Amino acid sequence: MNDQKLKSLDTLHIPVWLAKDIAWILVYKPLGVAMILPAVFIAVYICIKTISEKLLFFQNLAILFWISANSTWMAGEFFDFSYKGPAMVLFLLGVISIARHYYLEVKLKPAELTKPYFARFFSKNQTTQKPY
């Protein structure tokens, strides 16, 4: 996957996730439930595509677990089932994933830590910078 497509997916992911959360806050079940699949699918797809870049992968894996926990919580409230246990497991897996990300970051040389990894990843893979 090229960097531009990865950036586009990441950008698309945000409004889908926000639509799900807005539907949750407004208790609009059809939209909330409908947005679970695209939010989780995009997160899974991004994880698969970044698996070779461990720092990006663990960061994206944490996001996947967060969205999954968040979706479980929302569905539990919408449909009145016990969600705290499953959501807690998913949140903890997200914490473990992001902890792994930071562990890998700490192992880098101080000169490589001047900006967040996703910014370093995209800037090292671009031959020319395009202004926005």
How much helix, strand and coil, in percent to the nearest 5, is found in the chain?
80, 0, 20
Each residue of 22-41: pLDDT tens digit? 999 999 999 999 999 999 99
User: Residue 103 falls within a domain, yes or no?
Assistant: yes
Q: Two tokens at 131?
A: 């202004």
User: Residue 89 falls within a domain, yes or no?
Assistant: yes
First CA to last CA across the chain, in angstroms?
A: 22
User: Residue 107 falls within a domain, yes or no?
Assistant: yes
Question: Which stretches of the chain are assigned E, i.e. beta strand?
Answer: none
Using pLDDT thresholds of 50, 70 and 90, give the confidence band for residue 131: very low
Q: Report how many domains make up the chain.
A: 1
d(CA 8, CA 99): 26
User: Residue 130 falls within a domain, yes or no?
Assistant: no
Range of the domain at 76: 3-124
pLDDT at residue 16 tops 50: yes
Question: With a threshold of 0.85, does the pTM exceed it?
Answer: no
C-beta of residue 120 within 8 angstroms of C-beta of residue 112: yes
Each residue of 51-103: pLDDT tens digit? 998 888 999 999 999 999 999 999 999 999 999 999 999 999 999 999 999 89
User: Residue 129 falls within a domain, yes or no?
Assistant: no
User: Residue 80 falls within a domain, yes or no?
Assistant: yes
C-beta of residue 116 within 8 angstroms of C-beta of residue 67: no
User: Residue 132 falls within a domain, yes or no?
Assistant: no
pLDDT at residue 119 tops 70: no
